[in-house]
């Protein structure tokens, strides 16, 4: 999978959040989008995953060297972010079943494997509304990592995780992030230390090309 950005910008009212981004995100590499809180990292990630349109520039997607329409990008993508909501009326078992109606499982894992990976077998019939914030974050990460998609996007992946949870996240990276385009928004080095390339959102504040 490849994402090509040409002079990409996004603004809110008259204020540019970022502009003038020329960059390519390519297969089998891990990228970190860096910047302080409120700098626009999450906004850029939403532009990259097609949920926000850029205010300027050209955005293109390719899979196996064939162009992908922006309306089809979601089929190639797994995403975990603090602002994504889980269906709280579902049980853990139902959430996993629902998610994998739309995504395939990574090779070697199934529903029971996901629940085992989470260490939540005793909670499989528990409604998500009764999960702690850390349990919900683990579930979001497990669903994203275990989905068989060529792109993986993570925003602040260790939010609400304790030290043990951070180690668990890094084990997921080792097992399931290889051979896919991985993009992580973060300002904490332990979340992105394995990334090959880094893009600082601060380099594109108020910048434009004509």
Is 148 within the bounds of a domain? Answer: yes
Give pTM, 2 decimals. Answer: 0.93
Place of tokens 């997921």: 172
CATH code: domain of residue 29? 3.40.50.300
Report pLDDT for 84: 93
Q: Is residue 75 part of a domain?
A: yes
Instruction: Judge whether 35 and 187 are in contact, CB under 8 Å.
Output: yes
CA separation for the pair 156, 41 (Å, rounded)? 10
Task: Give pLDDT, residue 208.
Answer: 47
- Residue 149 inside a domain? The answer is yes
Instruction: Classify the C-alpha dihedral 81-77-75-165 as positive or negative.
Output: negative
Would you give per-residue pLDDT tens digits along the chain (210 residues)?
A: 999 999 999 999 989 999 999 999 998 899 999 999 889 999 999 999 999 999 999 999 999 989 999 999 999 999 999 999 999 999 999 999 999 999 999 999 999 999 999 999 999 999 999 999 999 999 999 999 999 999 999 999 999 999 999 999 999 999 999 999 999 999 999 999 999 899 999 999 865 443
> Is residue 210 one of the residues assigned to a domain?
no
| Sign, CA torsion 46/50/55/58 | positive
Domain around 58: 2-204
How many domains does one find in the chain? 1
Residue 18, in any domain of the structure: yes
């Amino acid at each position: 999978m490849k994402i090509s950005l040409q002079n990409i910008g996004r603004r809110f009212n008259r204020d540019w959040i970022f502009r003038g981004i020329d960059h390519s995100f390519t297969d089998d590499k891990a990228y970190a989008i860096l910047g302080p809180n409120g700098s626009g990292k999450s906004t850029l990630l939403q532009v990259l995953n097609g949920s926000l349109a850029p205010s300027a520039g050209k955005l293109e997607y390719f899979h196996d060297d064939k162009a992908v329409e922006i309306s089809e990008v979601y089929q190639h993508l797994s995403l975990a972010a603090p602002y994504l909501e889980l269906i709280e009326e579902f049980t853990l078992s139902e959430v996993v079943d629902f998610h994998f109606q739309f995504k395939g499982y990574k090779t070697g894992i199934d529903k029971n494997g996901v629940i085992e990976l989470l260490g939540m077998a005793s909670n499989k019939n528990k409604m998500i509304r009764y999960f702690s914030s850390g349990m919900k974050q683990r579930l979001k990460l497990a669903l994203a990592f275990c989905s068989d998609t060529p792109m993986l996007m993570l925003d602040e992946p260790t939010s609400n995780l304790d030290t043990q949870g951070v180690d668990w996240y890094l084990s997921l990276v080792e097992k399931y992030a290889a051979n896919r385009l991985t993009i992580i928004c973060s300002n904490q080095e332990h979340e992105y230390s394995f990334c090959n390339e880094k893009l600082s959102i601060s380099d594109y504040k108020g910048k434009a090309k004509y």
